[in-house]
C-alpha cells in the first residue's frame, strides 16, 4: 500500500530510504534495540545519504520536499529498517528543527539546522517537564534576562535524543503566566549549568534515548532565542500539527510492518496439520487489520494534503483525529499480530513483540489521546 498522494518524487524517496535502511539499519537494528543504544555515526551516514534532509529547504542544507515526503521517508525507513527506536531517535530533527527553519534567523539556521542535515549533528526538542506535559501553557522552566543572556533554571523530561543531542530547542518561561509568556531558546551541549540528569528506561522505542534534562542557572545567549520574546506558543502548536501527522504516519508504518510479518507467519506456521492461514478466523483477523490500516492511511494522507494546502483552520483538529485513529489502529494491529504469532509473539526474538511495545507510545507522545479529543471537541464547536 502507498499513500494516494504519492508521485514519482515519493517513489524516488522510498528507493533512497529503502537502500539506506537495508544497508545501515536492518543489519543492526535488533541489537541496538536490545542494547538501548544506536551507533551515533548513523546520524552522519543519514546526512551523507541525503535521508536526514528530506522535507527541509535546500537553502538550509536539506533535500527539499514537504510533509508528504517526510511521511513516505519515515514509512520506508521503518519497514526496511525494522527498528522503530532507531528511526525515532534519528528523527528528532523533525520536531526540533522546524521552529528554527520557519522562524529562525539565517545565522541561526546556518548554526543549527544545516549542521544537522549535512554533518550529522543531533537535535532534540524540550517541551515536557516533570510537573506536566499536556499543559504546555503551564510550563515552569524559567529564563531570566541578565544582559545579553538568559539564566535558565528548571527541568525537562521524556526528551527523545536528550542524552545524545548537540542542542535542545527548549521551551522556557520568559514572561508572565500562561501561553503568552513562553519563548523557544536553543541550549547547546556543554553550556555550563546544563546537564542530563537521567537516561530513562521505557516500554518501547529502546534504541532511541529518552532523557531528563536539568538547567541550573544555565546561561544562554539571547541570540539563541527563536523569534520574538514570549511568542513561542503558536510556534509550538504549529509544530504539533506536523508532529501529530508524522506520528500518525509512524503508526501506519508500524502497523504495515506488523501486518506483513503476520501474513508471512500465518503462511508458514502449521496448526492441526495445515497452515495457520488455512483457518478462516486467521484470514478474518488479517482482513480486519488490513481494513483498519487502509482507513488510517487514507485519513493520514488526506489530512497531510489539506495541511500542505495551508490556511485551513480545521487542520489542527483533523491532525488530532488522524493521530487518534492511527494510534488506535496501530495498537489493534500490533495486538492481533502478537496473537497470530502465538507464544512466539510474546518472545523478545520476534519483531511483532517489539512493535507491540513500540505502539504503546503513540496514544501518549506528541499530545495524549485525551488531549487530542479535547482539541477535536474544540474544533467541532462543542
- Cell 500539527 belongs to 241
Q: What is the three-class DSSP state of 192?
A: coil
State the first-to-last Cα distance of the chain, in angstroms, to the nearest integer. Answer: 36
Neighbours of 272 (CB within 10 A): 7
Q: Would residue 268 show up in a list of annotated catalytic residues for this protein? A: no
Taking CB atoms, the residue at the shortest distance from ligand FAD is 133
Residue 110 has what DSSP assignment? I
Do strands 182-188 and 167-173 pair parallel, antiparallel, or not at all (unpaired)?
Answer: antiparallel
CB-based contacts of 280-287 (< 8 A; 24+ apart in sequence): 282/340, 285/336, 285/339, 285/340, 286/259, 286/262, 286/340
Choice between 138 and 221, CB closer to ligand FAD: 138
Q: What is the three-class DSSP state of 159?
A: strand
Smallest separation (angstroms) from ligand FAD to the CB of 126: 6
Choice between 279 and 364, CB closer to ligand FAD: 364
Choice between 262 and 324, CB closer to ligand FAD: 324
Smallest separation (angstroms) from ligand FAD to the CB of 94: 10
| φ/ψ of residue 142, rounded to 5 | -100, 135
Catalytic residue among 243, 256, 261, 353: 243
Smallest separation (angstroms) from ligand FAD to the CB of 361: 5
Choice between 24 and 164, CB closer to ligand FAD: 164
- H helix or E strand, kind and range, residue 373: helix 369-380
- Cell 541496538 belongs to 32
- Distance between CA atoms of 359 and 362, rounded to whole angstroms? 6
In sequence order, the β-bridge partners of residue 153 are 142, 216
Smallest separation (angstroms) from ligand FAD to the CB of 155: 12
* 251, 327 contact by CB (below 8 A): yes
Interacting residue ranges for ligand FAD, rule: CB under 6 A: 124-128, 132-134, 158-160, 202, 205, 210, 361, 364-368, 370-371, 374
- Distance between CA atoms of 98 and 226, rounded to whole angstroms? 11
Helices 351-359 & 315-341, crossing angle to 10 degrees? 150
E-state strands within 91-247? 123-126, 142-146, 149-160, 167-173, 182-188, 194-199, 210-221, 225-226
- Distance between CA atoms of 303 and 298, rounded to whole angstroms? 9
Choice between 155 and 255, CB closer to ligand FAD: 155
Smallest separation (angstroms) from ligand FAD to the CB of 128: 4
Choice between 75 and 358, CB closer to ligand FAD: 358
Choice between 95 and 266, CB closer to ligand FAD: 95
**Chain centroid to CA 329: how far?**
17
Smallest separation (angstroms) from ligand FAD to the CB of 288: 27
| φ/ψ of residue 154, rounded to 5 | 150, -160
Smallest separation (angstroms) from ligand FAD to the CB of 231: 19
Which residues are tagged catalytic? 243
Amino acid at each position: 500500500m502507498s499513500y494516494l498522494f504519492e508521485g514519482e518524487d515519493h517513489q524516488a524517496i522510498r528507493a533512497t530510504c529503502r537502500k539506506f535502511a537495508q544497508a545501515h539499519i536492518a543489519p543492526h537494528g535488533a541489537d541496538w534495540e536490545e542494547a538501548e543504544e544506536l551507533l551515533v555515526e548513523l546520524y552522519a551516514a543519514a546526512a551523507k545519504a541525503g535521508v536526514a534532509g528530506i522535507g527541509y529547504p535546500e537553502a538550509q542544507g536539506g533535500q527539499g520536499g514537504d510533509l508528504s515526503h517526510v511521511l513516505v521517508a519515515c514509512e520506508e525507513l521503518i519497514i526496511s529498517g525494522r527498528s522503530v527506536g532507531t528511526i525515532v531517535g534519528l528523527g528528532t530533527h523533525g520536531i526540533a528543527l522546524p521552529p528554527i527553519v520557519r522562524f529562525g534567523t539565517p545565522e541561526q539556521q546556518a548554526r543549527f539546522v544545516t549542521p544537522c542535515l549535512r554533518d550529522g549533528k543531533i537535535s532534540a526538542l524540550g517541551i515536557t517537564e516533570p510537573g506536566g506535559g499536556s499543559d504546555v501553557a503551564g510550563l515552569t522552566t524559567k529564563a531570566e534576562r541578565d544582559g545579553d543572556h538568559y539564566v535558565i533554571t528548571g527541568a525537562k523530561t521524556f526528551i527523545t535524543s536528550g542524552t545524545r543531542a548537540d542542542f535542545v530547542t527548549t521551551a522556557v518561561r520568559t514572561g508572565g503566566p500562561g501561553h503568552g509568556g513562553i519563548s523557544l531558546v536553543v541550549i547547546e551541549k556543554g553550556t555550563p549549568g546544563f546537564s542530563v540528569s537521567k537516561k530513562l528506561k521505557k516500554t518501547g522505542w529502546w534504541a532511541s534515548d529518552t532523557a531528563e534534562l536539568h538547567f541550573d542557572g544555565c546561561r544562554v545567549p539571547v541570540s539563541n532565542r527563536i523569534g520574538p520574546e514570549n511568542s513561542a506558543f503558536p510556534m509550538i502548536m504549529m509544530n504539533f500539527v506536523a508532529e501529530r501527522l508524522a506520528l500518525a504516519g509512524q503508526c501506519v508504518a508500524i502497523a504495515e510492518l506488523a501486518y506483513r510479518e503476520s501474513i508471512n507467519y500465518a503462511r508458514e506456521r502449521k496448526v492441526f496439520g495445515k497452515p495457520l492461514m488455512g483457518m478462516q478466523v486467521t484470514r478474518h483477523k488479517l482482513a480486519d487489520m488490513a481494513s483498519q490500516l487502509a482507513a488510517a492511511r487514507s485519513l493520514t494522507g488526506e489530512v497531510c494534503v489539506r495541511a500542505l494546502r495551508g490556511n485551513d483552520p480545521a487542520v489542527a483538529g483533523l491532525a488530532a483525529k488522524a493521530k487518534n485513529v492511527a494510534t488506535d489502529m496501530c495498537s489493534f494491529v500490533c495486538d492481533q499480530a502478537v496473537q497470530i504469532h502465538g507464544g512466539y509473539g510474546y518472545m523478545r526474538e520476534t519483531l511483532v513483540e517489539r512493535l507491540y511495545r513500540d505502539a504503546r507510545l503513540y496514544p501518549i507522545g506528541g499530545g495524549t489521546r485525551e488531549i487530542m479529543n479535547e482539541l477535536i471537541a474544540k474544533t467541532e464547536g462543542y
